[in-house]
Amino acid sequence: MKSCVSPASHLKQTTLLPLRSRTMALFLQTSFLTSSSSLRQKPCLSSWASHISSSRTRTHVHAKIREIFMPALSSTMTEGKIVSWVKSEGDKLSKGESVVVVESDKADMDVETFYDGYLAAIMVEEGGVAAAVVVVPPSPSAMASAVHPASEGGKRVVASPYAKKLAKELKVELGRVIGSGPNGRIVAKDVEAAAAVATELGSPAAKVSAAPAVQVPPGIELGSVVPFTTMQGAVSRNMLESLSVPTFRVGYTITTDALDALYKKIKSKGVTMTALLAKATALALVKHPVINSSCRDGNSFTYKSSINIAVAVAIDGGLITPVLQDADKVDIYSLSRKWKELVDKARAKQLQPQEYNTGTFTLSNLGMFGVDRFDAILPPGTGAIMAVGASQPTVVATKDGRIGMKSQMQVNVTADHRVIYGADLAAFLQTLAKIIEDPKDLTF
């Protein structure tokens, strides 16, 4: 989009920039000297050119253009999508102020301006894609912040991409929806709730959201070809990369009666089963550091200095792995609080890069869906991933020859065979089983 904006009397000229990977142009209150030759290239500035030519004088223009590029917000990000512009052309900007919300391969991030000035031109509209470039900002927080306001003076509503899509389908006006995400950000459940209220009140939205004869999930058009989202594209690339790693799998059955009893005892204090499994895994990794290692070049491997447990979470339009850092050192109560915080941020697509790309070992749990066992694909850059199935009552034979009932779960570990061998995994799983079957150390 091309435009010429002069929001203040001291701003004399707007220069139009090529598209490339730029997302916007920004006026700065500094000085530079221009000539009529540069002005003749800009149709919207012809009046300025003729004025300068007729007066035969050189004009000092108190404005300078700064470009803001699409930042590479993670090591795997090659391009980003513009979710929404927080500011409009002509708006005054202050250093550190959020300007645009960008969808990276993992999360939605606010991009802030490093300068004071005015937003001269938006070069990539909402929904557009720009190539990412490596940016070295003054500090991590200056590049992108964890939260952003839901609106700017009532002019713009900030919502997740899926929420916007759903609102369009259900004929819900986002400006009337109260968001429940971080700082009032509108997410899918807010739109669904608004549509439900409209149905009860008999508004036009009721007709749109009425169930069709054939039940099709919202947002799906049968027979259509749907391009990957930014996140789905990143997942696809990572899965293809993992195919180059020689992996193997080892399964183990673990009795969970004691763990289940502990969970019931401390659940009221905010402890989650995910945190308990992460803590048990981290304590087992302390005794088997090779399982926490990784191989990048095929010629060496690295023993990781920290035990950071990444846990797979399904979100709208993809999959992400929030990381519980130093899980072996953090107490179970703090770990549970941190996990809830990470999940909330993940579902609002507000995770910071260090919160999802620093995992050293990954857990994938489908037990809550009743899945008894499955295999997981090894994420690039790690040595192992463990797939956790549901804990189910099982008839077993006791040591004295009697028949008994115990709750048991199946875990399957996929590992990089260049670094980790069968005996390594077997020893690790034995240690893990002992910790889970006698979980007294999990609450220390």
Instruction: Examine the pLDDT at 162 and tell me if it is beyond 90.
Output: no
Residues 444 and 433: their CA atoms lie apart, in Å, by 18
**What is the CATH architecture assignment of 66-136?**
Beta Barrel (2.40)
Place of tokens 């701003």: 11
Residues 407 and 402: their CA atoms lie apart, in Å, by 16
Q: What confidence score (pLDDT) does residue 86 get? A: 81
The model carries a pTM of 0.59
User: 433-442, pLDDT tens digit by residue?
Assistant: 999 999 999 9
Which of 61-75, 132-146, 302-316 is predicted with the least confidence, judged by mean pLDDT? Answer: 132-146
Instruction: Examine the pLDDT at 7 and tell me if it is beyond 70.
Output: no
End-to-end CA distance of the chain: 59
User: 240-272, pLDDT tens digit by residue?
Assistant: 888 889 999 999 999 999 999 999 999 999 999
CB 254 within 8 A of CB 437: yes
Over range 44-51, report the average pLDDT: 41
Q: Please name the residues in contact with 154: beta carbons below 8 A apart, sequence gap of 6 or more.
A: none
Residue 417 annotated among the catalytic residues of the structure: yes
Fold entry, domain 247-437: Chloramphenicol Acetyltransferase (3.30.559)
Instruction: Examine the pLDDT at 105 and tell me if it is beyond 70.
Output: no
Instruction: Examine the pLDDT at 328 and tell me if it is beyond 70.
Output: yes
| Alpha-carbon 178 to chain mean position | 22
Residues 89 and 232: their CA atoms lie apart, in Å, by 31
Q: Which of 10, 60, 148, 417 is catalytic?
A: 417
CB 2 within 8 A of CB 122: no
CB 293 within 8 A of CB 301: yes
User: 237-248, pLDDT tens digit by residue?
Assistant: 888 888 889 999
Q: What confidence score (pLDDT) does residue 300 get? A: 93
Number of Cβ within a 10 Å radius of residue 276: 23
User: 349-401, pLDDT tens digit by residue?
Assistant: 888 889 999 999 999 999 989 999 999 999 998 999 999 999 999 999 888 88
DSSP codes, 310-357: EE-EEETTEEE--EETTTTTS-HHHHHHHHHHHHHHHHTT---GGGTS
Domain boundaries, the chain: 66-136, 166-196, 247-437
Confidence of residue 52 (pLDDT cuts 50, 70, 90): very low
Over range 65-71, report the average pLDDT: 72
Q: Please name the residues in contact with 312: beta carbons below 8 A apart, sequence gap of 6 or more.
A: 319, 320, 321, 362, 363, 364, 365, 376
Q: What confidence score (pLDDT) does residue 207 get? A: 40
CB 328 within 8 A of CB 307: yes
User: 409-434, pLDDT tens digit by residue?
Assistant: 999 999 999 999 999 999 999 999 99
Kind plus residue range of the DSSP H or E element containing 24: strand 22-28
